[in-house]
Amino acid sequence: MAEAKTHELVVSVSPHIRGKETVGRIMWTVNLSLLPAFIMSVYYFGPRAVYVTGLCIVASVLFEHAFQVSLKKKTTIGDGSAFLTGLLLGLNLPASSPFFIPIIGSFIAIVITKLLFGGLGYNIFNPALIGRAFLLISFPKLLTTWTEPTAKFIDMDAKTTATPLGILKEEGLVRLMEVFGSKTELYKSLFMGSTAGSLGETSAIALLIGAALLLARGYITWHIPVSYVATVGALAWVFGGEGLFTGDPLIHILSGSLILGAFFMATDYVSGPTVRKGQLIYGIGCGAITMLIRLKGGFPEGVMFAILLMNCFAPLIDRAVKPDLFGAVKEQKK
Amino acid sequence: MAKMATFDRGIHPEYNKELASGKTITDAKLPQRVVVPVSQHIGAPAQPEVSIGDEVKRGQVIGSTSGFVSSPVHSSLSGKVITIADFPSTAGKMVQSIVIESDGKDEAVTFNEHPDYMNLGPDEIKNMIKEAGIVGMGGAAFPTNVKLSPPKEKKIDAVIINGAECEPYLTADHRLMVEHPKEVVEGLKIIMKSLGVHEGHIGIEVNKPDAIEAMSDVVSGEENITVWPLEIKYPQGAEKMLIRAVKGREVPSKGLPMDVGVVVQNVGTALAVYDAVRHGKPLIERVVTITGNGIREPANMNIRIGTLMSEVVEQCGGLVEGAVKVIAGGPMMGFAQWTLDVPVVKGTSGILVMTESEYVTSDDYTACIRCGSCIDVCPMGLNPSMLSILSEKEFFEEAKDYNLFDCFECGSCAFVCPSKRPMVQFIRLAKSQVKP
């Protein structure tokens, strides 16, 4: 007995074993899942993709570190979430963004949207999207100057052009067909990513490869992306054409930042609802607002505002929609 | 094998059962003394029936019941009562306990054998179970005779023996089913008889194929008893989950198994019932799994109630260097002990010793990132994320809107939480601050 007493025993609350999942592992995996999209952005937009995205990442990480160190808090840059915010912000910017755009955007995203609200877990809005929304409103010209996706590794001055959604909005479907030659060519370009647009949004295939990784790991579920994309597709089909039920859903699904938004930004844990059934409502809401803006609003693209607006509803959805309680059905029957 | 029965959600921890699953049950050495708490069960504590200096025999009642939901306690050896005082218990509280020093003779009182036990009436059986001090041996320790006496309006049509043993590491029930399948089944039949029920089930997780085989062999001639291979998933052995798996019935929120006509009893309890009714033996010993990487020689031991853990640990070769945590029960729902001088009681299914390298902590937990993992695994269909946040911010009343009291603290949410939040702690805190 005396021998046993020499041991110092630790008392803590159950459970006494834990799974291996950590916030860091999740965040770094999401970063990794965006690698294909980043590679495609470099392929199409050249060194400027590295420059803009890299600047966003460095600025985001530094802002977070500096803020926390200056407030004598523990730095959390190791968890990969500041890196992710920077990466997402970068992939949502045009290739031609001058240096101050990533820096201001990162400041708004990290310091204002995330840290001032209490840091990871407490932010109401998706930090990268608030950063981008701030930039779009403050520097509308710079944020809508699109370069052609023809990587020029030496010549930094690429020709400016319009995004497919921009053409669709300003000049119509006929003009869009003229630009790309045929519908098949248009789909192909949208799928591969050889269109103008934000750095990481153009290549649907690259984004879907990354999304597949997240789905396989269980880090995201189908609920938000599928309900979001399906709503956009359905509304595009019904209202997107000359008459009702004549629209082309595929153009709307593949263009703009819908794939990036539906799989990587609307699925942001902190700013979205947690209950799966509620996530369906959230996804449908995102889709409806996106199409409202695309078809009736002043901007050609509505993904960013749609997700931010639905962020506001996330807490309400979590209150209204609860998981199916075990034994609840029978209780009502009594 | 047909599609395995199970419930929705749940988790898949590492089971680590191989440490002890092959160890045959051995009898622990007769302890020098036993510390028998008067309250080893849910309900009113027993009243001491002996005084300091009294000579007692093995099986003698030393604490009698003091109410309907209560259970007597018996001396687990022969010797002298040396003190009656408050001692630490496995649940962390000080509990009045009767300390008996062994005289080394291990003399027993006369037990009333009943070779014709299947001819006994329900009330006789229930009374014997009550007199024997039998309580649920899976951990909750609810008096068994109370469970077998549902109000008249609750029609019971099935009894399920819980052989899931879903807690990682533990193998006591596994060994009992392998080594004493007949007695367990006879126990089930006695329980069925006491309830007037003709339908018996035995649920066993498929990580115990030898137990499934042994039990299936024994019931092969019994048409009304079925062995159910269950999917390996925690918390498969929780009553409500087991009933869902085997009978497909959902116990209503805030309800009890009897609300869906089912009574669940643990394997060890069934065996104790058999021993009590057939051999007149009170519950004075139980099989405990002593396991974990922190113990030198893992074992399944038949231990006298009241034996101090320190004595048991010594018999298992002692603790290894770096053993930091001793848990009464399993790793998911068991209680960490601050001292080894606590007695093994009726509800002690295991003594698990974990080493420093296995030690997990919530000391550095971070904010909930609302990933929803906990919602995906909660067997009760709760929103643990929300409950933990509300409790953290002291919105205890609001937690009730999220069915706070449906949580039975299985710990699945804490297991999966990437932010390492002390989910069970938060939920217990909230429960302690509001009325159901």
Judged by CB atoms closer than 8 Å, whether chains meet at B252 and A334 is answered as yes
Q: What is the ipTM of this complex?
A: 0.91
| Residue numbers of A between 251 and 290 with CB closer than 8 Å to B | 269-270, 272, 274-276
Q: Which residues pair with B288 in a beta bridge?
A: B301
Q: Given this model, what pLDDT does residue A237 score?
A: 96
Judged by CB atoms closer than 8 Å, whether chains meet at B252 and A16 is answered as no
CB of A26 within 8 Å of a chain B CB? The answer is yes
Chain A residues with CB inside 8 Å of B379's CB?
326
Q: Region A2-30: what's the mean pLDDT? A: 84
| Residue numbers of A between 172 and 201 with CB closer than 8 Å to B | none
Residue A331 pLDDT greater than 60, yes or no:
no
Q: How far is A230 from chain B (nearest CA, A)?
A: 22
- The model's confidence at residue A152, banded by pLDDT at 50, 70 and 90, is low
Judged by CB atoms closer than 8 Å, whether chains meet at A120 and B367 is answered as yes
Q: Measured between alpha carbons, how far is B42 from B140 in angstroms, rounded to an integer? A: 7
Q: What is the pLDDT of residues A194-206, one digit of tens each?
A: 999 999 999 999 9
Q: Given this model, what pLDDT does residue B251 score?
A: 94
Residue B273 near residue B265, CB atoms below 8 Å: yes
pLDDT: which is higher, B190 or A153: B190
Q: How far is A263 from chain B (nearest CA, A)?
A: 14
Residue A222 pLDDT greater than 90, yes or no:
yes
Q: Given this model, what pLDDT does residue A148 score?
A: 86
3-state secondary structure chain B: CCCCECCCCCECCCCCHHHCCCCCEEECCCCCEEEEECCCCCCECCEECCCCCCEECECCEEEECCCCCECCEECCCCEEEEEEEEEECCCCCEEEEEEEEECCCCCECCCCCCCCHHHCCHHHHHHHHHHCCCECCCCCCCEHHHHCCCCCCCCCCEEEEEECCCCCCCCHHHHHHHHCHHHHHHHHHHHHHHHCCCCEEEEEECCCHHHHHHHHHHHCCCCCEEEEEECCCECCCCHHHHHHHHHCCCCCCCCCHHHHCEEEEEHHHHHHHHHHHHHCCCCCEEEEEEECCCECCCEEEEEECCCEHHHHHHHCCCECCCEEEEEECCCCCCEEECCCCCECCCCCCEEEEEEHHHCCCCCCCCCCCCCCHHHHHCCCCCCHHHHHHHHHCCCHHHHHCCCHHHCCCCCHHHHHCCCCCCHHHHHHHHHHHCCC
Q: Given this model, what pLDDT does residue B148 score?
A: 93
Q: What is the pLDDT of residues A44-94, one digit of tens each?
A: 999 999 999 999 999 999 999 999 999 999 999 999 999 999 999 999 999
Average pLDDT along chain A: 92
pLDDT digit of tens for each residue in chain B (436 aa)?
Answer: 456 899 999 999 999 999 999 999 999 999 999 999 998 888 888 999 999 999 999 999 999 987 888 899 999 999 999 999 999 999 888 999 999 999 999 999 999 999 999 999 999 999 999 999 999 998 778 999 999 999 989 999 999 999 999 999 999 999 999 999 999 999 999 999 999 999 999 999 999 999 999 999 999 988 999 999 999 999 999 999 999 999 999 999 989 999 999 999 999 999 999 999 999 999 999 999 999 999 999 999 999 999 999 999 999 999 999 899 999 999 999 999 999 999 999 999 999 999 998 888 888 899 999 999 999 999 999 999 999 999 999 999 999 999 999 999 999 999 999 999 999 999 999 999 998 8
Residue A160 sits at φ, ψ, to 5 deg, of -90, 155
CB of A21 within 8 Å of a chain B CB? The answer is yes
- The model's confidence at residue A333, banded by pLDDT at 50, 70 and 90, is very low
Judged by CB atoms closer than 8 Å, whether chains meet at B252 and A330 is answered as yes
**Is residue B19 exposed (0-12), middle (13-18) or buried (19+ Cβ within 10 Å)?**
buried
Nearest to A329 among B168, B250, B424 (CB): B250
- The model's confidence at residue A157, banded by pLDDT at 50, 70 and 90, is low
- The model's confidence at residue A158, banded by pLDDT at 50, 70 and 90, is low
Architecture of B30-105+282-358 per CATH? Roll (3.10)
Q: How far is A317 from chain B (nearest CA, A)?
A: 12
- Global pTM reads 0.92
Q: Given this model, what pLDDT does residue A329 score?
A: 61
pLDDT: which is higher, A331 or A301: A301
Query: What is the domain partition of chain B in residue ranges?
Result: 30-105+282-358, 113-279, 373-433
Q: Which of A239-243, A265-269, B181-185 is the least confident region?
A: A239-243
Q: Given this model, what pLDDT does residue B68 score?
A: 84
Chain A residues with CB inside 8 Å of B338's CB?
9, 11
Q: At the fourth CATH level, which superfamily is domain B113-279?
A: NADH-ubiquinone oxidoreductase 51kDa subunit (3.40.50.11540)
Q: Given this model, what pLDDT does residue B140 score?
A: 79
Q: What is the pLDDT of residues A271-324, one digit of tens each?
A: 999 999 999 999 999 999 999 999 999 899 999 999 999 999 999 999 999 999
Q: Given this model, what pLDDT does residue B3 score?
A: 64
Q: How far is A56 from chain B (nearest CA, A)?
A: 23
Say which amino acid occupies A211.
A
Residue A7 pLDDT greater than 90, yes or no:
no
Residue A155 pLDDT greater than 80, yes or no:
no
Q: Best mutation site among A3, A10, A16 for testing chain B: the one with the most B CBs within 10 Å?
A: A16
Q: Measured between alpha carbons, how far is B338 from B324 in angstroms, rounded to an integer? A: 10
Q: How far is A125 from chain B (nearest CA, A)?
A: 13
Residue A4 pLDDT greater than 50, yes or no:
no
